[in-house]
Amino acid sequence: MSTSARAGKGGEELGPTMPAPVHGERQAGRAARRARRARRRQEDRQYEIPLHLFGVRRRTVTLVTVLCALFSLFTLIPIVYMAFSATKTQLNINDSFPFWFARPFELFQNVSLLFKNLGGDGVFARWFANTVVYASLGGGGATIISVMAGYGFARFDFRGARFGFALVIGTLLVPITAISLPLYLVYAKAHLINSIWGMVLPSMVSPIGVYLMRTFSASHVPRALLDAARIDGAGEVRIFLTIALPLLVPGIVTVLLINVVSVWNNFFLPLLIFSNQDLYPLSVGIGDRAGGGASVLLATGGLASVLPLIALFLILQRHWNGGLLLGSVTG
């Protein structure tokens, strides 16, 4: 690329300058990007509903926004603390500012020590694999059951439907600690102590998932669309798989994330049924080593257990959108 020199007073050169055509092209490109952003903002405003139509004041929106920001900070502070602590040594973790880096940068060394020293013999990798298995089978199974049960409660009128749904929701009022002793006795009778299925089978029961899918099915799967498919001769299974299921994708993703996170972070149930540390998930394994004083390794282990959930959310977030019914019903 050719350059030209710009002369100042007295004929001295002030240095090379960008050729006028290239500078003009960059300005034109920036102007085009600004115009595209302004056009997208204008298009988005066409679909915005004024707040006064909801009966909401601007002050209320500001207050709710501030509360959401505070809640976000409250949620993110532990994760940020773990992220910075995982880069430090055991000596400077307490002497340095907790929310910034410190020298030396030991993240990769801490990750290596995590898999070698936290429990020994690579047990952390085993805990991680156990957690993936429990979350995949339990969270996936709970999502499948929740989708079918929620759709059935929402779109089929059968005797006892309201009582059955009320019974499902009523289980949310019973804390698991209140039934811990009967649960352990039942597990002992069923030979589910120190068994993978003892962790997976209860995880497939998700009352909150059934509630969310019932609500989502009632609002996103119109009866007119189902009746039209029945008139065309489609069976209930085909209607569910080809018509209802695609419309329920955003709700399914939401319930899947809730169930996977619930099983991934479950502490009480595996603590109750597992005495063999080779079957521990990450939550119990890291908690079991929390008394050892290796706070750097615990922070690194906590960060390693959080990152897969963040990655899963980022991968599935594109499915969190509405508008799937647009054009499905005409008339």
The string of pLDDT tens digits covering residues 49-60 is: 666 666 667 788
Q: Read off the pLDDT of each residue in 317-323 and give the average, rounded to a whole number.
A: 59
Phi/psi of residue 16, each to 5°? Answer: -70, 150
Q: Read off the pLDDT of each residue in 264-284 and give the average, rounded to a whole number.
A: 87
The pLDDT score that the predictor gives to residue 21 is: 60
Cα–Cα distance for residue pair 296/82, rounded to 1 Å: 9
Q: Per-residue confidence at 290, pLDDT binned at 50, 70, 90?
A: low
**Is residue 143's pLDDT more than 60?**
yes
Phi/psi of residue 215, each to 5°? Answer: -65, -45
The pLDDT score that the predictor gives to residue 260 is: 92
Q: Per-residue confidence at 6, pLDDT binned at 50, 70, 90?
A: very low
Coil, helix or strand for 7?
Answer: strand
CA–CA distance from 195 to each of 126, 192, 263, 271 (Å)?
15, 5, 16, 12
Residue scoring higher pLDDT (116 or 126) = 126
The pLDDT score that the predictor gives to residue 256 is: 92
Which of 95-104, 135-144, 285-294, 311-320 has maximum average pLDDT?
Answer: 135-144
Say if residues 221 and 179 touch (Cβ distance below 8 Å): no
Sign of the alpha-carbon dihedral angle for 13, 19, 24, 29: negative
The string of pLDDT tens digits covering residues 187-232 is: 888 888 998 998 998 889 889 999 999 998 888 888 888 889 889 8
Cα–Cα distance for residue pair 93/77, rounded to 1 Å: 16
The pLDDT score that the predictor gives to residue 323 is: 39
Percentage of the chain modeled with pLDDT above 70: 81
Q: Per-residue confidence at 171, pLDDT binned at 50, 70, 90?
A: confident
Residue scoring higher pLDDT (282 or 17) = 282
